[in-house]
């Protein structure tokens, strides 16, 4: 809970879109042990809910996520306290490696859009990289300052960056550790689109709504195939694609897609 008694992660569903909001604005949404658990639970909840077809991850206030809470770590009460990697416990709370939000992000089939409304630093940048799409406010900043803190990207950055931007650019981003503007992030291929600050929520909602209007079973299957394809040979991957196609062609959504095309109307998919 925050100082005001609110959860550290807010969860809301409207129109097949789940909005997950990091809710420690007084700390620029720096990650606490409690937030780790609540965020992982929110992502898993979105993935389990058949009414949710896409999720938007953003931050409350002026920042997306300032990374691990350094003030808590220095005080000995947060993640990284005493040089420990494991989150430990916050009261009775424990977070296992498998339940870390960045792990959950990679494994769920629900597409996730990062709406980066401010600084995404350290762990916060890894969170954004773990999302499927990244929209950034014009004033947003990407801060890969790991080398300046004598550590490495702890939650997926070393896996995502070379795949997103190539080896040389990943080395540039990681080794130099320079703060990147939203525009530079787009040039490097980290950010899909930069929008005016006041338009970020609306554009994220627009993208989420457009994805949610598509066939949800096909979207989930596509994400699974994208993920599997990272580690498969082409031959093995095409076998998996054919298996997915067989299953999808047996769905009511596939028949609706055909009918809507013939009838020249927008499809109405039900996820079955």
pLDDT along the chain (272 residues), means of 10: 78 97 94 92 96 97 86 55 47 57 92 97 94 98 88 85 94 94 96 98 98 97 95 95 96 96 95 93
Task: Tokens 């490495």: give the residue.
Answer: 152
Measure the CA–CA gap between 62 and 112, rounded to whole angstroms: 21
pLDDT of residue 139: 97
pLDDT of residue 100: 86
Measure the CA–CA gap between 182 and 117, rounded to whole angstroms: 10
Give Cα separations from 45 to 24, 34, 38, 95 (angstroms). Answer: 20, 16, 10, 16
pLDDT of residue 74: 52
User: 9-213 has which fold?
Assistant: 2-enoyl-CoA Hydratase; Chain A, domain 1 (3.90.226)
pLDDT of residue 92: 39
For residue 189, the SS3 value is: coil
pLDDT of residue 70: 62
The domain segmentation of the chain, as residue ranges, is 9-213, 216-262
Measure the CA–CA gap between 53 and 215, rounded to whole angstroms: 9
The sheet that has 193-195: what strands, in order across it?
A: 9-14, 17-22, 54-59, 112-116, 133-137, 193-195
Q: Within 13 Å, how many C-alpha atoms sit on residue 264's CB side?
A: 0
């Amino acid at each position: 809970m925050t100082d005001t008694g609110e959860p550290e992660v807010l969860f809301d569903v409207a129109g097949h879109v789940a909005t997950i909001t990091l809710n420690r604005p007084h700390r620029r949404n720096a990650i606490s042990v409690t937030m780790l658990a609540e965020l992982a639970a929110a992502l898993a909840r979105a993935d389990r809910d058949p009414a949710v077809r896409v999720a938007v991850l953003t931050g409350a206030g002026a920042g997306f996520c300032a990374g691990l809470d350094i003030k808590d770590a220095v005080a000995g009460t947060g993640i990284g306290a005493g040089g420990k990697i494991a989150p430990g416990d916050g009261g009775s709370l424990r977070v296992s490696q498998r339940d870390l939000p960045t792990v959950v992000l990679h494994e769920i089939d629900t597409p996730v859009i990062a709406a980066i409304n401010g600084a995404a630093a350290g762990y916060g940048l890894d969170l954004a990289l773990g999302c499927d799409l990244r929209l950034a406010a014009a004033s947003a900043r990407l801060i890969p300052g790991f080398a300046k803190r004598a550590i490495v990207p702890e939650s997926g950055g070393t896996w995502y960056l070379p795949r997103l931007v190539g080896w040389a650019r990943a080395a540039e981003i990681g080794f130099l550790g320079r703060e990147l503007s939203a525009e530079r992030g787009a040039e490097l291929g980290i950010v899909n689109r930069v929008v005016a600050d006041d338009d970020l929520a609306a554009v994220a909602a627009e993208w989420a709504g457009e994805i949610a209007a598509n066939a949800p079973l096909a979207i989930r299957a596509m994400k699974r195939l994208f993920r599997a394809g990272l580690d498969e040979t082409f031959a093995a991957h095409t076998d998996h694609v054919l298996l997915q196609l067989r299953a999808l062609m047996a769905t009511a959504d596939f028949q609706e897609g055909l009918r809507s095309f013939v009838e020249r109307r927008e499809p109405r998919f039900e996820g079955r």
